[in-house]
Amino acid sequence: MKKTILIKNGTIATLGEKNKVLAGHALLIEDGLIKKIAPQKNFKGKYSKVIDASGKLVMPGFINAHMHFYSTFARGLGKAAPSRNFVEILNNLWWKLDKQLTNADSYYSAVIPLINAVRKGTTTIIDHHASPFAITGSLAAVEKAVRETGLRASLCYEVSDRDGKEKAKQGIEENAAFIAAAQEKDDNTIAGLFGLHASFTISDETLEEAAYRGHKLGAGFHIHTAESQADQLQCESHHKLRVVERLRDFGILGRRSIAAHCVHINEAEMEALKETGTAVVHNPQSNANNAVGIADITAMAAKGILVGLGTDAMTMNMMEELRAALWLQHLKRDPSQGFMETANALLVNNAKIANRSFKNLGELREGFAADLAIIDYLPPTPMDASNFAGHLIFGISQSAVDTTIAAGRVLMEGKKLKLDIDEEEVSAKSLELAAKLWKKF
The yes-or-no verdict on residue 1 having pLDDT over 80 is: no
Give the mean pLDDT of 332-351: 98
pLDDT tens digit sequence for 21-38? 999 999 999 999 999 999
The yes-or-no verdict on residue 56 having pLDDT over 90 is: yes
What pLDDT was estimated at residue 333? 97
Distance separating alpha carbons of residues 413 and 1, to the nearest angstrom: 23
Distance separating alpha carbons of residues 148 and 158, to the nearest angstrom: 23
The yes-or-no verdict on residue 80 having pLDDT over 90 is: no
CATH 2.30.40.10 placement within the chain: 4-61+370-417
Distance separating alpha carbons of residues 114 and 119, to the nearest angstrom: 9
Q: Name the band, by pLDDT with cuts 50, 70 and 90, for residue 152.
A: very high
The yes-or-no verdict on residue 231 having pLDDT over 80 is: yes
pLDDT tens digit sequence for 233-276? 999 999 999 999 999 999 999 999 999 999 999 999 999 999 99
Mean pLDDT, the chain, whole residue set: 97
Distance separating alpha carbons of residues 251 and 334, to the nearest angstrom: 36
List residues bridging with 416 in a β-sheet: 413
What Rg value do the Cα atoms of the chain yield, rounded?
21
Q: How far is the first Cα of the chain from the last one, in angstroms, to the nearest whole number?
A: 54
Distance separating alpha carbons of residues 348 and 79, to the nearest angstrom: 40
Say which CATH topology domain 65-354 has.
TIM Barrel (3.20.20)
**Cα 377–378–382 angle (5° rounding)?**
120
List residues bridging with 157 in a β-sheet: 129
Residues 6+ apart with CB under 8 A from 261: 224, 225, 226, 227, 280, 281, 282, 283, 287, 292, 295
Strand ranges across the sheet with 4-8: 33-39, 25-30, 4-8, 49-52
Q: Is 435 exposed, middle or buried (0-12, 13-18, 19+ CB in 10 A)?
A: exposed
Sign of the torsion angle spanned by Cα atoms 428, 429, 432, 435: negative
Position 65, amino acid: A
**Cα 165–169–173 angle (5° rounding)?**
170
List residues bridging with 295 in a β-sheet: none
- Listed in order, strand segments (DSSP E) in 40-136 are 49-52, 56-60, 62-67, 122-127
> Which CATH architecture fits 4-61+370-417?
Roll (2.30)
Q: Name the band, by pLDDT with cuts 50, 70 and 90, for residue 45.
A: confident
- Strand-strand pairing, 279-282 and 307-309: parallel
Q: Using alpha carbons, select from 274, 262, 269, 273 the residue that is nearest to residue 229.
A: 262
pLDDT tens digit sequence for 212-228? 999 999 999 999 999 99
Position 289, amino acid: N
What pLDDT was estimated at residue 79? 84
Q: In this structure, are residues 210 and 183 in contact, taking their beta carbons and an 8 Å threshold?
A: no
Q: Using alpha carbons, select from 289, 219, 279, 210 the residue that is nearest to residue 250.
A: 210
Q: Name the band, by pLDDT with cuts 50, 70 and 90, for residue 105.
A: very high
- What is the separation of C-alpha 357 from the centre of its chain, rounded to a whole number of angstroms? 12
pLDDT tens digit sequence for 356-382? 999 999 999 999 999 999 999 999 999
The yes-or-no verdict on residue 441 having pLDDT over 90 is: no
> Long-range contact list for 100-103, CB < 8 A, 24+ apart?
100/133, 100/437, 100/440, 100/441, 101/70, 101/73, 101/130, 101/131, 101/133, 101/134, 101/138, 101/437, 102/131, 102/134, 102/433, 103/131, 103/134, 103/137, 103/138, 103/140, 103/141
Q: What percent of the chain has pLDDT over 90?
A: 98
For 91, which DSSP code?
I
Distance separating alpha carbons of residues 244 and 123, to the nearest angstrom: 30
Give the mean pLDDT of 41-54: 95
Give the mean pLDDT of 125-133: 98
Backbone angles phi, psi at 358, to 5 degrees: -120, -175
Angle between helices 103-119 and 138-149 (to 10 degrees): 30
For 82, which DSSP code?
P
pLDDT tens digit sequence for 286-316? 999 999 999 999 999 999 999 999 999 999 9
pLDDT tens digit sequence for 180-224? 999 999 999 999 999 999 999 999 999 999 999 999 999 999 999
